[in-house]
């Protein structure tokens, strides 16, 4: 069982290519979400274990950045603290 990586979320991920729960998937800009889906599919389909692991670990970082950016975009500027992404 894998949980949604959003810090305020405890939803379980559903589906082989899911990397966020549906609620948080749609907070991402659509272009960014599509890029992450392509990377997730590439990682899932890779026949080589080491390449798959590498892509999955890259994806974890990209998803964290995308979530932080989406949260910051929703937060008024005067409430942001040290947001560098």
Give the nearest distance from C-beta 40 to Zn ion in angstroms: 15
Contact residues for 69 (Cβ-Cβ < 8 A; gap 6+): 85
Query: Smallest distance from the beta carbon of 60 to Zn ion, in angstroms?
Result: 15
Of the two residues 11 and 32, which places its CB atom closer to Zn ion in the complex?
Answer: 11
Closer by beta carbon to Zn ion, 24 or else 55: 24
Interface with Zn ion by CB under 5 A: which residues?
4, 6, 9, 11, 21, 24
Q: How far is the CB of 19 from Zn ion (least distance, A)?
A: 10
Distances 48 to 19, 42, 52 between C-alpha atoms, Å: 20, 11, 6
| C-alpha–C-alpha distance, residues 63 and 40, integer Å | 10
Question: Which residue number, 20 or 43, has a Cβ lying nearer to Zn ion?
Answer: 20
Task: End-to-end CA distance of the chain: give it in Å, rounded.
Answer: 29
């Amino acid at each position: 069982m894998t949980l949604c990586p959003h810090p305020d979320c405890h939803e379980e991920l559903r589906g082989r290519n899911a990397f966020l729960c549906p609620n948080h998937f749609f907070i991402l800009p659509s272009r960014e979400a599509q890029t992450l889906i392509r990377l997730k599919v590439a990682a899932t389909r890779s026949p080589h274990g080491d390449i798959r692991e590498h892509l999955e670990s890259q994806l974890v970082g990209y998803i964290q950045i995308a979530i932080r950016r989406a949260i910051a975009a929703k937060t008024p500027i005067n409430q942001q603290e040290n947001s560098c992404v």
